[in-house]
Structure 1
């Protein structure tokens, strides 16, 4: 059995999944019974069935993998954390003006990119004056955040947008896009479908910052194919979509520039569609 330093703090308020991840971060591999024994010692009231269900869900999300009758953390999941944490460490090790002004990043998956974008938007919004809601505009090829609202990072995105006056332009009018945009409108986001935007990249403007996301041709093609063929959101298998597309290894380039002139032009262009 291999031991590593604990990555997560164990406490009674942690969810069963968090405790399993914490346990497997310092002892592995372990059987379901061994994991249950650790969890039950830390928080009373948890059942073996509850631990088993949490393990199965973590396996489905590819956070843990099963080898024989034992479980351990997925090496792919660990690698994705390493990539993402490296980017965040770079951003958060310095102040905002030193890190997000005219910077370039590359991410291996849409999911990693989304997490970084959410953190960046929250950080930029937090640096702006609080006298009024900042104007936040988005130009996107497709909309998808509401599809994964059960995932913490996407739920955080929805919550963070409530502190902004948000306008979105979406290129595609596929049923999935319409469903997602309907969700956004209920959250107070103003949305229009515009065919001639987000041709090469998605773009965001907040304060003096402009963020551009350049998805690889493979990602764009796969997304277009899925969105075009899906007639109802209920036909989607969200887990399959997430793992096959949002965790597909590729290269996604992100640029963040502090340029008031360009940010103002993007806002002006966006607001013109709402007059």
Structure 2
């Protein structure tokens, strides 16, 4: 334990306390010898004795037959004070934490889906669990994932709590919702959410942006009365096309994520 600046810059007193935090009890003579040997302090025995007397009178030290040692009550108060300062500094740093936003651009939507799965895996690996809420304009079509990606998703699902909130309620969306529910995902239709695609993954907030052209194409593909009319091949071709360029911003902010969920 190193004590600094608690005794008006008195180096001798600080070094005496440091010595006695490592080895105790020590006689005045041993303290005097070790101050010279370990710290190369140029000091007389009389000055050492005076410093010990002042530390004893201020109840920093105790004096026993065997020699001097730190006062237990003083040490406990110092530890409590140190913890209080540490907590206050940590709280101050937390309040001053700068929230940074990262932006990623993907040439098509398929590339984003690959990134999204990898991001989910990384969070599960780090946090051991994943609480997700996705806001979608249309219910996501689950079968754009490859068999390999589906296998990876199933592997992490036991550690995932996942809710998808969908703005538009239609036959195709309800069919997609059924597929997701079979995988353990909770799907809710709620027209009150915004048009923006937003995702919450633990403390991370993702905003996903695509062009108006891609949004219209997606809406058109869901504008059907019979799910058998859904053009799977066209959908996969579309989301692999550069016109479905996807831009994502990511920010980690627990307070904001909890507020927006």
> Structure 1 residue 122: deviation in Å?
1.5
Matched, 1:261 2:251: no
Is there any run of 5+ residues in structure 1 with no aligned partner, and where?
Answer: 1-100, 268-275
TM-score, reference length from structure 2 = 0.56
- TM-score normalised by structure 1 residue count: 0.54
Q: Which has the larger radius of gyration?
A: 2
Q: Tell me, yes or no, if the aligned pair for 1:145 and 1:154 is still in contact at 8 Å.
A: no
Q: Deviations over 1:155-182 (max 9, x none)?
A: 5345534421111101121222111111
Q: How does 1:115-154 map to 2 (within 5 A)?
A: 115-128=114-127, 130=128, 133-154=129-150
**Shift, 1:186, TM fit:** 2.0
Instruction: Give the corresponding residue for 1:156.
Output: 152
Encode CA deviations 1:185-231: one digit per residue, 9 max, x unaligned: 222222210113241x3111122111110111111011001111x22
Question: Aligned pair count?
Answer: 162
Q: Give the match's secondary structure for 1:257.
A: strand
Cα drift, residue 105 of structure 1: 0.7
- Taking the TM superposition and a 5 Å limit, the aligned residue runs for 1:64-143 are 102-128=101-127, 130=128, 133-143=129-139
Contact kept? 1:147, 1:180, Cα under 8 Å? no
Cα separation, partners in 2 of 1:175 and 1:222, compared to 1, 3 Å = same
**What are the superposed Cα offsets for residues 102-130 of structure 1, whole Å, 9 maximum, x if unpaired?**
210111211111111111122122211x3
Unaligned runs of 5+ in 2: 1-99
2:213 aligned residue: 218
Choose from 214, 229, 235 the match for 2:229.
Answer: 235
1:143 is paired with a residue of what secondary structure? coil
Partner of 1:75: none
